[in-house]
Structure formats: structure tokens, C-alpha cells
Amino acid sequence: MMWSPTSWTQKPAAQQVSYGDPEALTRVIAEMSRLPPLVTSWEVENLRAGLARAARGEAFVLQGGDCAESFDDCRSDPIAAKLKILLQMSLVLVHGTKKPVIRIGRIAGQYAKPRSADNETRGGVTLPAYRGDLINRDAFTAEDRAPDPVLMLRAYERAALTLNFIRALVDGGFADLHHPEYWDVSFAEGSPYAAQYHQIVDSIRESLDFVSAITGVEAEVLRRVDIFTSHEALALPYEQATTRQVPRRPGWYNLSTHFPWIGMRTAQLDGAHVEFHRGINNPLGIKIGPGMTTDWLVGLLDALDPERKPGKITLIHRMGAGKLQQHLPPLVEAVRGTGRTVLWVCDPMHGNTETTPQGIKTRRFDNIVSELEQSFELHAQLGSHLGGVHVELTGENVTECIGGARGLSEVDLERAYKSRVDPRLNYEQALECAMRIAKHLRQR
Ligand code: PEP
Ligand code: CO
């Protein structure tokens, strides 16, 4: 079949909704197609080159942000807080990996969610499931849950506002991490790792001071940082509307994000998402869980990257701390068998989700760190290597995941649980997670 931005409509598409008014959808797609893009093709190509370096072991990727962004949280404080924790984590990871770190937010477009059930029933009433602010609204009424195509436009606008603010902060020197308050790890007092965290912070501060002292200016790495965007490319009408050709570069780019990823629920070889993504030049992430088979994975690589372009494919594995040893090795061997170089990234969040007896979705910090540490070790044993981490976090003081130096427990979950979807690491847990990675890598 000839590829075009709409050829996906000829294939079965998982996780899509049907809009009550198809003409309204057509109007929204037409309007979005005329709006300026959020990112440029040269940024996309820069990222692909960076991911190729990470695949070769010369750089490390930090991808992080909300499970789902919400329209409500399109405000300056949460955005700045998320940027700050991403920058801090990345600095800790530079320290731990001794490699340049490529920062990618789950941000500026992460508005659509796959759901395991199409409908939700409460008190005998059944309505369509909430699928993210790009599709419908969270409130449990028929009107709110009806898919509304105008929300795609609203999502695109909020993505633009978010990215504009991030770019302004970064350009304006927000990334100046000299300030001591950036490096307060007092939350870790009493943790067995406290002394090591202090050492890591001291050594980061020394190297920052050293660079400023000899150059007389703030470290260039901190002044000019790149932040790339990513989201799960789930709602295909949205992705289609932002896919276009650019002057002087062949092919098509999805310019609503630098780095779209395909979830496993939509990775069917003969499905619409694979059809859509095989035609765009962006680097692609593919989430792989315990259900991924070697044939399926090799089929995806052949379909999505027939030319074997460096940096094109990132495989984001999310097996769960207890399943990694069983499920990862055959996939690594299968990829090796193809002779391809891919970038391996560990998502230690999605395989470690559990529900408390009170019915609250949570994740244990220890399982998250364990899956990460096992991933570094296992890749090394298999002769490949882990080139990045993918986490769900917020810069705020929420209580959604259990554990960490503060010892959050199930009781604490009631206090500040804000996520409408998956539980995120809070500010301290995210920083501590980076410290644990750094510590692990330095001890190896
Ligand atoms: C996600 O990244 O939020 C997500 C839904 O993950 P997965 O597809 O890996 O379950
Ligand atoms: Co999630």
C-alpha cells in the first residue's frame, strides 16, 4: 500500500473513538493542518542523531514527565517544576554515567491515554471511558465523556503554550543549577544512602563551581540545554493533522513532537498505528512489555525502520521488576540477530503498577529502582547496554508512589494523590531515583 498521512485509515485502528459528528472532526483536522508546527524538522533530526549516539553508548537518555498531562495543569508552576526536576535528574545522571544526557519530556502533547476497557460503569450507569483531555472529559456525565474533536485543537494549543514557556525558561537561564536550594537532599537524612547522596551533590556542585571559575560564566551546559518533547502517538487524527512536508528535506515529519512513541496496545503489525508511523521521519519509541514476542518485535523493526537509520528506533522495555530476567533476554538476542543497533531504554514504571487493598493504583519505589538496576546489569551481561530511562514524574510534592527516603506508605497515598491515571514519582522520589542510578553506575 502507498503510504500517505491518511493511509492509516485503511487499517484497523486500536484505541480510537468514534466522533458523533464526523464533519466537525474533518473541520478540526483541516484547521490544525494549517497551524504552524510545534517543532522543526532540524530539531527532529538533531534528536535522531543524539539517539544514534545513545544507541552506540556515547550518550544517555532521560525521558520523563506525566503519565497524562491535563489541561488544568497547563500552568506556569507545574511546568517549571517539571522542567526543574528533569534538569536536576539529568545533571545527576551526567555525573553517574559520565556521558552527555539527552533530555526528553513526556510533555507538550501527552494528552491521550490507552484504556483497557472502552466503557466505565458507576452505580449502574455505563459511559465511555475517560481517554485523556485530548479526547473527552473526566467528569462522569454523558456530555463530558462524549469524544469532542475540538479538544484536539485545545490540546494542540496547550502543547504550544507549554513548549513556548519551556523554551523561554531555558533561553532565559532557568537552567542555572548553581543555586544551593536546587541541591537540598535533606529529605534523605536517615536513609541508608544519605551520605552517598551528599557526596554526589557535593561533587556536582564542585564541578559546577569549577566550570564557572575557569570560564567566568555559568557552565555552558547549564545555560543552553535542549529539551525535546515526546508523547504517545495514540490519537491518529491528531498525529495526521500535524504531519507535513518541509522545504528542502524529503519525506514527512510529525511536527507536533520530536519523538512519538507507539504503545504495545497499538503496535499490531497490520494495524493503523504501525501504518502511520512507518511513513514519518521522526525517531520512534516502541514500548515493549512481557507480551512482546521476538517475531512481533522483528516485524516491527522491519516495518518501521526498513532503511536501518541510526537513531530511528528506541525500544522502551517495561517488564516489571519480577519479569525482566525472563522476558528481556530473548528480545535482546532477537534484535542482535537482525544486526541492527537500537537504543534500549528502561521504563521501570508501567510493569510495576499495583492496586492497594483500598483500590488505589500505586508503585513501589524499591521495585522501580530494582527494575532499573537489573536492567543495567542484564544488558551488560547480554553484551548490549541500557542507554536511557523513561519515568513518570512530577516536580510537585504528590504522594502517589510508595517508598523512597521519606518512607511514604499506603496511608500517605490519600494525602496528595493527584494523578488521574498512573502514579508518578514526586520531586524527591524522582531526584532520589536519579541518585540511585548514579550510585549504582559508579559502583560498577
Ligand atoms: C504510558 O506510558 O503512560 C503507558 C500507557 O505505558 P504502557 O503503554 O507502557 O503501558
Ligand atoms: Co502511564
Closest residue to atom 10 of ligand 1, CA basis: 350
The predicted structure's pLDDT at residue 180: 67
The amino acid at residue 136 is N
The predicted structure's pLDDT at residue 384: 97
- Banded model confidence at residue 184, pLDDT cuts 50, 70, 90: confident
Question: Which of these, 12, 11, 237, lies nearest to 135 by C-alpha position?
Answer: 237
Residue written as grid cell 538533531: 46
The predicted structure's pLDDT at residue 443: 84
Atom of ligand 1 lying closest to residue 318 CA: 9
Q: Which of 15, 63, 67, 286 to mutate to test the pocket of ligand 1 (most atoms within 8 A of CB)?
A: 67
Domain for residue 91, yes or no?
Answer: yes
Q: Given a cut of 70, is residue 218 above it in pLDDT? A: no
Integer Cα distance of 231 and 293 in angstroms: 24
Shortest-distance ligand to the CA of residue 419: 2
Q: Given a cut of 60, is residue 438 above it in pLDDT? A: yes
Domain for residue 215, yes or no?
Answer: no
Q: Given a cut of 90, is residue 214 above it in pLDDT? A: no
- Banded model confidence at residue 205, pLDDT cuts 50, 70, 90: confident
Please give the distance, rounded to the nearest whole angstrom, from the Cα atom of residue 253 to the centre of ligand 1: 23
Atom of ligand 1 lying closest to residue 114 CA: 5
Residue 317: CB within 6 Å of ligand 1? no
Residue written as grid cell 493527584: 418
Residue 273: CB within 6 Å of ligand 1? no
Question: Which of these, 342, 304, 348, 302, lies nearest to 322 by C-alpha position?
Answer: 348
Task: List, for residues 333-362, the tens digit of each pLDDT value.
Answer: 999 999 999 999 999 999 999 999 999 999
Domain for residue 61, yes or no?
Answer: yes
What value does the mean pLDDT take over residues 171-185?
74
- Banded model confidence at residue 272, pLDDT cuts 50, 70, 90: very high
Residue 95: CB within 6 Å of ligand 1? no
User: For 213-217, 343-347, 423-427, which range has the lowest pLDDT when averaged over its residues?
Assistant: 213-217
User: For 97-106, 196-205, 291-300, 423-432, which range has the lowest pLDDT when averaged over its residues?
Assistant: 196-205
Domain for residue 420, yes or no?
Answer: yes
Q: For the chain, what is the domain count? A: 1
What value does the mean pLDDT take over residues 67-76?
97
For residues 65-97, b (16+ Cβ closer than 10 Å) or e, as one string?
bbbbbbbebbeeebbebbbbbbbbbbbbbbbbb
Domain for residue 180, yes or no?
Answer: no
Strands 119-122 and 125-128: antiparallel
Closest residue to atom 2 of ligand 1, CA basis: 67
Integer Cα distance of 170 and 365 in angstroms: 30
Domain for residue 31, yes or no?
Answer: yes
**Full domain range(s) for residue 261:** 7-175+224-443
CATH of residue 131 = 3.20.20.70
Q: Given a cut of 70, is residue 34 above it in pLDDT? A: yes
Atom of ligand 1 lying closest to residue 232 CA: 2
Residue written as grid cell 474533536: 149
Task: List, for residues 285-307, the tens digit of each pLDDT value.
Answer: 999 999 999 999 999 999 999 99
For residues 129-165, b (16+ Cβ closer than 10 Å) or e, as one string?
bbbbbbbbbeeeeeeebbbbbebbbbbbebbbebbeb
Instruction: State the Cα angle at 290 between 413 and 18, rounded to 5°.
Output: 75
Atom of ligand 1 lying closest to residue 264 CA: 8
Q: Which residues contact 278 (CB under 8 A, 6 or more apart)?
A: 3, 303, 304, 306
Q: What percent of the chain has pLDDT over 70?
A: 96
Grid coordinates belonging to 265: 496496545
Please give the distance, rounded to the nearest whole angstrom, from the Cα atom of residue 68 to the centre of ligand 2: 7
3-state secondary structure of 25: helix
Domain for residue 217, yes or no?
Answer: no
Domain for residue 133, yes or no?
Answer: yes
3-state secondary structure of 293: coil
Residue 263: CB within 6 Å of ligand 1? yes
Q: What is the pTM of this model?
A: 0.96
Please give the distance, rounded to the nearest whole angstrom, from the Cα atom of residue 52 to the centre of ligand 2: 25
The predicted structure's pLDDT at residue 420: 86
Q: Given a cut of 80, is residue 219 above it in pLDDT? A: no
Q: Give the DSSP H or E segment for 102.
A: strand 101-106
Integer Cα distance of 141 and 156 in angstroms: 24
What value does the mean pLDDT take over residues 212-232?
72
Q: Given a cut of 80, is residue 241 above it in pLDDT? A: yes
Integer Cα distance of 101 and 92 in angstroms: 10
Q: How many CA atoms lie within 13 A of 264 on its CB side?
A: 17
